[in-house]
């Protein structure tokens, strides 16, 4: 099935690809025929997902790197291109959103810098490097994973929501910079029941749902895959600089 998939012959690089939405997209891309670079901080976790990809008959490259560390990004790019020769799909999915209880004076300079580095600075650099190579090659698709908080910021997540708002801006700017051969789009994710959510609001959402949302519930990670495949494949050949909300009907 993978040999006939919509991403057959493609290589996808997914940051934060070892868990949550990233893992779901990695497996979805592999099922659609792509080989995958799984990039995240913990190599053992990346290797576990790589084994799942290889069980589908696809190639996988697990790479340990920190997207907030600018000097590690070029190494990731070199390893990906050195192994596969090309990258056709880049997903900027890695993120961090530490809470601080709504007391904005509790936001330290260190917290601010880390959140901006992971959610905005790193994706800028990675997109710059991979997008430039895509333009010089056969083109490609870049997908930024943002949040509905960038539209409706929460008092206890302001650095994160601000960084993701910046990522929305980068989507439109890079779409113009790298067009017409490279498309750049955003998936604006709402509440998903990832492992991180299970440690905070997830149990309550599972028990009571999310009645203010149109669908009345949070999403499961595999439900992000359809949007990712749309942007990654030729199905979105006339779509760039766009934002697709996948949020269950946020109020």
Q: Is 230 considered catalytic here? A: no
> If 0-12 CB within 10 Å is exposed, 13-18 middle and 19+ buried, where does residue 138 land?
exposed
On whether the CB atoms of residues 187 and 224 are closer than 8 A, the answer is yes
Q: Which of 81, 100, 160, 230 is catalytic?
A: 160
In 3D space, the residue among 171, 183, 175 whose CA is nearest the CA of residue 231 turns out to be 183
Peptide bond into 180 cis (omega under 30): yes
Torsion of CA 45, 50, 52, 58, to 10 degrees: 170
Active site positions, annotated: 160
């Amino acid at each position: 099935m993978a040999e006939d998939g919509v991403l057959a012959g493609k290589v996808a690089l997914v940051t934060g690809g070892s868990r949550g939405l990233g893992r779901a997209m990695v497996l979805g891309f592999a099922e659609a025929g792509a080989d995958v670079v799984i990039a995240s901080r913990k190599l053992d976790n990346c290797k576990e997902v790589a084994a799942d990809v290889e069980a589908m008959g696809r190639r996988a490259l697990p790479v340990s790197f920190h997207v907030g560390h600018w000097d590690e990004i070029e190494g990731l790019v070199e390893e990906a291109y050195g192994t596969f020769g090309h990258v056709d799909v880049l997903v900027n999915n890695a993120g961090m959103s530490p809470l601080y209880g709504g007391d904005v004076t509790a936001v330290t300079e260190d917290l601010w810098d880390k959140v901006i580095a992971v959610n905005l600075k790193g994706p800028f650099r990675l997109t710059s490097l991979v997008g430039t190579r895509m333009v010089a090659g056969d083109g490609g698709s870049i997908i930024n994973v943002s949040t509905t908080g960038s539209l409706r910021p929460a008092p206890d997540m302001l650095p994160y929501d601000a960084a993701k708002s910046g990522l929305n801006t980068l989507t439109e700017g890079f779409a113009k910079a790298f067009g017409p051969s490279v498309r750049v789009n955003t998936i604006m994710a709402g509440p998903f029941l990832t492992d991180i959510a299970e440690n905070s609001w997830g149990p309550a959402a599972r028990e009571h749902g999310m009645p203010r949302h149109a669908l009345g519930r949070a999403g499961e990670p595999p439900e992000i895959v359809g949007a990712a495949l749309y942007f990654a494949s030729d199905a979105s050949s006339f779509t760039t600089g766009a934002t697709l909300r996948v949020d269950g009907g946020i109020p």
